[in-house]
Amino acid sequence: MSIDVKTAAHVAKLARIRVEDAELPALAQEFNAILGFIEQLNELDVEDVEPMVSVTPMRLKRREDVVTDGGMPEKILANAPEAREGFFAVPKVVE
């Protein structure tokens, strides 16, 4: 599996990370080095192996479906780069 510049650009887009066009060939090359390393996994026969879901066999605990926390909008917004009138503010989403 070899990653070309177009695939690298697509992955960057999916990850929502801006990568300048000039940097794409180097990025593709890095991906290929890492994926080349990962390719070793293909040496193994894993046909009848169940993929691991949880490293320690455990049943997830359940709790009452009730509100346990909340009612602190000021605290929640305190770290926002931009907040207005009790909301997180972002650039215009809808024209």
Partner 1 sequence: MSELTRLTIAEARDRLRKGDVTSVELTEACLGAIDRADALNAFVHKTPDIALERAKAADARIAAGDAPAMCGVPVGIKDLFCTEGVASQAGSKILQGFLPPYESTVTAQLRDAGAVMLGKLNMDEFAMGSSNETSVYGNAINPWRAKDSNADLTPGGSSGGSASAVAADLCLGATGTDTGGSIRQPAAFTGTVGLKPTYGRCSRWGIVAFASSLDQAGPMTKTVRDAAIMGAAMMGHDPKDSTSADLPVPDFEAMLTGDIRGKVIGIPKEYRMDGMPEEIETLWTRGREMLADVGAEIRDISLPHTKYALPAYYVVAPAEASSNLARYDGVRYGYRAKLDQGDGVTEMYEKTRAEGFGAEVKRRVMVGTYVLSAGFYDAYYNRARKVRALIKRDFETVFADGIDAILTPATPSAAFELGREMADPVEMYLNDVFTVTVNLAGLPGISVPAGLDKAGLPLGLQLIGRPWEEGELLNTAYALEKAAGFVAKPAEWW
**Euclidean distance between CA atoms 64 and 62, whole angstroms:** 7
SS3 of the chain: helix, strand, coil, percent, to 5: 40, 5, 55
Closest listed residue to residue 21, CA positions, set 33, 34, 2, 6: 6
User: Which of 2, 21, 22, 50 forms a contact with partner 1 (CB under 8 A)?
Assistant: 50
Q: Which of 65, 75, 84, 86 binds partner 1 (CB under 8 A)?
A: 75
What is the rounded CA–CA span in Å between residue 60 and residue 56? Answer: 11
Is the separation of the CB atoms in 38 and 19 below 8 Å?
no
> Is residue 9 involved in binding partner 1 (CB under 8 A)?
no
Among 78, 84, 85, 86, binds partner 1 (CB under 8 A): 78
**Residue from 22, 51, 65, 66 that binds partner 1 (CB under 8 A)?**
51
Instruction: Find the shortest distance in angstroms from Cβ 76 to partner 1.
Output: 8
Q: List residues binding partner 1 (CB under 8 A).
A: 3, 7-8, 11-12, 14-19, 27, 30-31, 33-35, 37-44, 46, 49-56, 58, 60-61, 63, 72, 75-76, 78-82, 88, 90-93
